[in-house]
């Protein structure tokens, strides 16, 4: 998890990603995720390793499908290749392995209420702060968690609401991890800084998030270390 190399990501108030506010909120998100069954998986667990291998296999098939579709003077639709269809089956298998991500990652206790595509920067700042306050209050009842390798294996995710085109591709490809507006689930929101929503994706869900990022044409969702 890289945060030291992104000091250019500052809020309008001049508060950087490396601020104490950010670090405190990040610790809370990691603690929260460690208590939830669907997000508690570690990066070296058999399930995570298996999904990573499956996704690599699917991507290799997609590369082959592109080469076959573009081969020769009579090009084919990529969807007509055996490789493409095999890759889609693997992606479906990966999605099924996660279970009900859409609801599991959007806890009712942390719900920010209705999210709309025309929210202002001020609106985003307020709802993310509200989610953070609710989470912090709930975590007062939870024992401290030794973050260690679990925290370091997660990744920071950026979302630019103003760049969102609401195409729905990331929602479909990620099994609902992203919603139709490409918003990641509020359980993992860290802070809203400089018109960017910053979230922490636990190690067990990185492959799922990547599947949504891969099909997002407007690039409004990106990893912070890319």
The pLDDT tens digits for 192-215 are 988 999 999 998 889 889 989 998
Q: In the structure, what pLDDT confidence band is assigned to residue 48 with cuts at 50, 70 and 90?
A: confident
Instruction: Give tens-digit pLDDT for 166-194.
Output: 777 888 888 889 998 999 999 999 999 88
pLDDT digits (tens, 9 = 90+) for 64-96: 888 888 876 666 788 888 988 898 888 788 777
pLDDT at 142 over 80: no
User: Domain spans of the chain?
Assistant: 20-42+107-223, 46-98
> Over the chain, what is the mean pLDDT?
82
**What are the residues facing 197 on neighbouring strands?**
159, 192
195 compared with 17, residue with greater pLDDT = 195
- Spatial CB neighbours of 84, under 8 Å, sequence gap ≥ 6: 61, 62, 65, 69, 78
pTM attached to this predicted model: 0.77
Lookup result for tokens 């920010």? 112
């Amino acid at each position: 998890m890289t945060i030291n190399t992104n000091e250019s990501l500052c809020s309008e108030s001049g508060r950087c990603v490396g601020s104490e506010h950010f670090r405190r909120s990040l610790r809370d998100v990691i603690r929260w995720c460690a208590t939830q069954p669907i997000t508690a998986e570690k990066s070296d667990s058999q399930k995570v390793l298996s999904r990573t291998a499956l996704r690599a296999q699917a991507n290799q098939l997609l590369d082959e499908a592109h080469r076959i579709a573009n081969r020769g003077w009579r090009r084919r639709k990529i969807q007509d290749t055996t490789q493409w269809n095999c890759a889609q089956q693997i992606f479906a298998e990966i999605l099924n392995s996660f279970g009900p991500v859409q609801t599991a990652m959007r806890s009712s206790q942390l719900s920010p209420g209705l999210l709309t595509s025309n929210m202002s920067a001020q609106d985003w700042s307020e709802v993310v702060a509200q989610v953070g306050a609710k989470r912090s209050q709930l975590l007062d009842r939870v024992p401290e968690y030794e973050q260690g390798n679990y925290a370091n294996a997660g990744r920071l995710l950026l979302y630019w609401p103003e760049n969102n085109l609401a195409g729905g591709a990331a929602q479909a490809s990620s099994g609902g991890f992203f919603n139709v507006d490409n918003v990641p689930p509020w359980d993992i929101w860290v802070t809203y800084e400089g018109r960017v929503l910053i979230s922490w994706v636990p190690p067990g869900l990185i492959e799922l998030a990547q599947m949504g990022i891969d099909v997002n044409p407007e690039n409004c969702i990106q990893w912070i270390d890319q």
